[in-house]
Amino acid sequence: MAQVHPTAVVHPDARLHETVEVGPYSIIGPQVTIGAGSRVGPHVVIEGRTTLGERNRIFQFASVGADPQDLKYAGEDTELVLGDDNQIREFVSLHKGTAGGGGATRVGSGNLFMANCHVAHDCVVGNGCRIGNGSALAGHVTMEDHVIISGLAAVHQFTRLGKHAFISGGAMVTMDIPPYATAQGDRAELVGLNTVGLERSGFSKEQIERVKEAHRILFRSKLTLQEAMVRLRAELAGHSEVDHLIQFIQQSKRGLTR
């Protein structure tokens, strides 16, 4: 049996692995599944059709799987799905999806959600991301892998953040942030590359140089975006880090932060 504090309220239909720990006064609903080695602190509420993988840690006063803050939501059976090894700190809120957004909010593995941050309905968060204190993702935001958002930043609905991007503290992001970039300000603008993050993630010097050249072509030349994309394909295509950047730009619907 899971180790459940006597003051916690766990619905008998909830599915908790025998190694799960649940702290005092926490509430876990009937559609919740929690994987092996996970720890739920005191005063946590986990509700809705919520699935947590293994070794997740949820700190006090977090709200996980609540109904979305979307006035179109009419009680549909939607869900929140998290992978493994996530840390959800104090007063974090993670909301389940809506029928209009695909029915699910999805979070990968190895992410850190710092105190008071918010992930809205239908967001997709990759692996190894960091969301700083008090930052917020509006609905339908996509964060690729290893994105870092500093404190007190906000991301507009339907915006995409490319992998290894870095969002500075207090930034207001309203358009897509391309992979590997650093953005700051209200409204956010690109201010350089996240070279420190790339080095820490094991990118070689050659890969980083190609990323730098790609960004020079896209954002520092006097070419239009269409012209820059033609040159980028001609000169640097065939390398995975550049191919991902090209694909990200091609799929942009809100437009790119420049």
DSSP string for residues in 183-215? EETBTTEEEEE-HHHHHHTT--HHHHHHHHHHH
Q: Which helix (H) or strand (E) holds 231?
A: helix 225-236
- pLDDT in the model for residue 25: 98
Single out the catalytic residue among 70, 85, 122, 176: 122
Identity (one letter) of the amino acid at 165?
A
Average pLDDT score over residue span 193-221: 97
Please name every residue paired with 180 in a beta bridge, in sequence order, or none if there are none: none
Contact yes or no for 182/198 (Cβ under 8 A): no
Residue 47 CB neighbours (<10 A): 20
Q: pLDDT-derived band of residue 238, with 50, 70 and 90 as boundaries?
A: very high
For residue 230, pLDDT beyond 90 = yes
Single out the catalytic residue among 41, 53, 101, 139: 139
- pLDDT in the model for residue 1: 83
| pTM of model > 0.95 | yes
User: First-to-last CA distance in the chain?
Assistant: 54
Burial of 238 (0-12, 13-18, 19+ CB in 10 A): exposed
Please name every residue paired with 105 in a beta bridge, in sequence order, or none if there are none: 80
pLDDT digits (tens, 9 = 90+) for 139-186: 999 999 999 999 999 999 999 999 999 999 999 999 999 999 999 999
139 flagged as catalytic: yes
Identity (one letter) of the amino acid at 185?
G
122 flagged as catalytic: yes
Average pLDDT score over residue span 26-30: 98
Asked if residue 220 has a cis previous peptide bond (ω within 30° of 0), the answer is no
Average pLDDT score over residue span 29-41: 98
Residue given tokens 């908790």 in the structure block: 16
Average pLDDT score over residue span 67-87: 97
Average pLDDT score over residue span 238-258: 97
Identity (one letter) of the amino acid at 109?
S
Residue given tokens 């420049």 in the structure block: 258
Residue 6 makes CB contacts below 8 A (sequence gap 6+) with none
Burial of 221 (0-12, 13-18, 19+ CB in 10 A): exposed
Q: What is the mean pLDDT of the chain?
A: 98
- Cα separation, 5 vs 115, in Å, equals 24
Measured between alpha carbons, how far is residue 224 from residues 41, 45, 96, 215, 229 in Å?
A: 52, 50, 39, 13, 9
Average pLDDT score over residue span 220-228: 94
Complete domains list, the chain, with CATH? 1-139 (2.160.10.10), 196-249 (1.20.1180.10)
Single out the catalytic residue among 95, 118, 121, 146: 121
The structure tokens listed for 41 are 């602190």
